[in-house]
């Protein structure tokens, strides 16, 4: 297999500006704190003013719901009120999205994540995705429960599934007696003290944290639906905080806006926030060797335009159009038009995202082309180029 060299890049959280990263057999082979001139039998991509960081980890998405418009008529008390409301008010919009085959919607869900620099996602749903169909890495090493009110036979599932994987469930999604009762019921019926990772957790407090293995925080979705989010400042001292997007049904398709929203809340400092979407999820979910640009780790790498001398300021101001290169498991799966000559051997297809021209393999562009035949607005201003 040909060695790929990323030459003359900065690496987030690494001092220095001219690193050389070598990739071989799907893993990071070496990281050298100086650029190289040339290497035989290697494909070298030379950068100027570029920042690299590990492919991001999105801990919560519903992949099949990313072609729906963002739906809300008001702020809600809980997810049940929201669900009833949109079914009454937005049946036309919902029906239009549901006409698209679920397999196509699932593929687009993965593509939406990819185009945001996310190479690993935890899909919260019953429908699994075969490894061969995964455009990005889809985590299934957990037990799925939707929520107390909407999951049939949740007590039986919680107590009769005897693997050691954690249960991931929407919990504390809203305020009021209904939500408080859901939380109390779950903890009461967790007879064998299974590991539970809560999603959203708006009404959870530090006492609830004693019964949890972690919390997946989705601030953009929470603020859109409920105008409030979880008390991360207190909870982070008790349990690990993962970071999730939720689907486009309730959140911005641009994941970087979620990150900026979280940074503005200032519940996690910059280092904690970056760790929550890079190194920390893999470590806690027992997904080995991801989330770092380090020898022996899986080569999931994103390279973006460096628009600021400060790496953190560059990172927190990224948008999808700023991404120059995405590598998943050692394979280049997306590159910017500015790298057309250096990546021409890939023979990829062109498309546009938010006005910027990118190249990706034919499967990804074919999905976008299929979606153009439906009467929907494709998120992230995606379009094919003839």
The pLDDT of residue 215 is 98
Domain boundaries, the chain: 57-284
Provide the Cα torsion 160, 163, 165, 167; round to 10°: 0
Strands 323-328 and 42-46, by their bridges, are: unpaired
CA atoms within 13 A on the CB side of 144: 16
Cα separation, 179 vs 199, in Å, equals 13
Cα separation, 386 vs 133, in Å, equals 26
Mean pLDDT of 100-117: 97
How many other C-beta atoms lie within 10 A of the C-beta of residue 28?
24
Quickly list H helices, the chain: 79-89, 91-98, 102-115, 154-160, 177-189, 219-226, 232-235, 255-265, 270-276, 279-284, 311-315, 362-371
Would you call 56 helix, strand, or coil by DSSP?
A: strand
pLDDT for 9 beyond 70: yes
Is residue 117 within 8 Å of 55, Cβ to Cβ?
A: yes
Distances (CA, A) of 372 to 17, 96, 365, 369: 41, 13, 11, 5
How far does Cα 39 stand from its chain's mean position?
34
Is residue 285 within 8 Å of 141, Cβ to Cβ?
A: yes
Phi, psi of 276 (to 5 degrees): -70, -15
pTM for the predicted model, two decimal places: 0.96
pLDDT tens for 231-244 read 999 999 999 999 99
What secondary structure does DSSP assign to 349-385, as a single string?
EEEEETTEEEEE-HHHHHHHHHHTTSSSPPGGG-EE-
Mean pLDDT computed over every residue of the chain = 95
Distances (CA, A) of 336 to 112, 149, 223, 340, 364: 16, 45, 33, 7, 15
Is residue 203 within 8 Å of 231, Cβ to Cβ?
A: no
Q: Which band of pLDDT confidence, cut at 50, 70 and 90, is reported for residue 84?
A: very high
pLDDT tens for 333-372 read 999 999 999 998 899 999 999 999 999 999 999 999 999 9
Cα separation, 335 vs 345, in Å, equals 12
Which uninterrupted H or E stretch holds 197? Answer: strand 196-200
Here the tokens at position 357 are 């021209």
Cα separation, 307 vs 200, in Å, equals 33
Residue 383, Ramachandran bin (φ over 0: left; ψ between -120 and 50: alpha; else beta): beta
pLDDT tens for 33-42 read 887 766 666 7
Unique residue bearing structure tokens 């249960």 = 167
Mean pLDDT of 196-201: 98
Q: Which CATH superfamily includes the segment(s) 57-284?
A: Metal-dependent hydrolases (3.20.20.140)
380 by Cβ neighbours in 10 Å (0-12 / 13-18 / 19+) ranks as buried
Cα separation, 284 vs 255, in Å, equals 22
Cα separation, 59 vs 292, in Å, equals 16
Cα separation, 378 vs 341, in Å, equals 29
Phi, psi of 234 (to 5 degrees): -80, -40
Here the tokens at position 326 are 């995405």
pLDDT tens for 119-133 read 999 999 987 898 999
């Amino acid at each position: 297999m040909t060695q790929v060299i990323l030459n003359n890049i900065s690496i987030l959280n690494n001092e220095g500006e001219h690193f050389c990263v070598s990739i071989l057999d799907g893993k990071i082979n070496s990281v050298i704190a100086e650029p190289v001139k040339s290497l035989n039998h290697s494909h070298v991509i030379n950068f100027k003013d570029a920042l690299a960081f590990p492919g991001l980890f999105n801990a919560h998405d519903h992949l099949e719901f990313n072609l729906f418009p963002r739906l809300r008529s008001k702020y809600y008390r809980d997810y049940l009120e929201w669900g009833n409301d949109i079914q009454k008010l937005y049946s036309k919009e919902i029906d239009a999205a549901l006409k698209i085959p679920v397999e196509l919607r699932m593929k687009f869900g993965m593509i939406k994540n990819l185009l945001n620099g996310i190479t690993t996602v935890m899909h919260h749903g019953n429908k699994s995705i075969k490894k061969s169909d995964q455009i990005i890495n889809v985590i299934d090493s957990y037990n799925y429960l939707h929520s107390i009110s909407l999951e049939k036979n949740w007590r039986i599932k919680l107590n009769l599934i005897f693997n050691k994987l954690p249960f991931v469930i929407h919990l504390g999604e809203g305020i009021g007696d209904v939500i408080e009762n859901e939380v109390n019921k779950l903890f009461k019926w967790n007879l064998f003290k299974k590991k539970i990772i809560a999603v959203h957790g708006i009404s959870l407090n530090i006492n609830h944290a004693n019964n949890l293995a972690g919390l997946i925080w989705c601030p953009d979705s929470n603020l859109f639906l409920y105008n409030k989010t979880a008390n991360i400042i207190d909870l982070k001292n008790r349990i690990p905080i993962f970071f999730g997007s939720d689907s486009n049904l309730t959140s911005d398709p641009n994941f970087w806006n979620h990150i900026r929203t979280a940074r503005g809340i200032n519940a996690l400092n910059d280092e904690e926030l970056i760790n929550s979407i890079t190194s920390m999820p893999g470590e806690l979910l027992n997904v080995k060797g991801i989330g770092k640009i380090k020898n022996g780790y899986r080569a999931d790498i994103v390279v973006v335009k460096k628009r600021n001398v400060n790496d953190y300021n560059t990172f927190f101001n990224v948008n999808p159009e700023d991404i120059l290169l995405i590598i998943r498991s050692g394979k280049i799966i997306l590159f910017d038009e500015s790298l057309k000559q250096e990546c021409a051997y890939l023979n990829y297809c062109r498309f546009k995202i938010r006005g910027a021209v990118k190249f990706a393999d034919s499967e990804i562009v074919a999905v976008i082309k299929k979606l153009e035949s439906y009467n929907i607005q494709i998120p992230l201003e995606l379009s094919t180029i003839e």
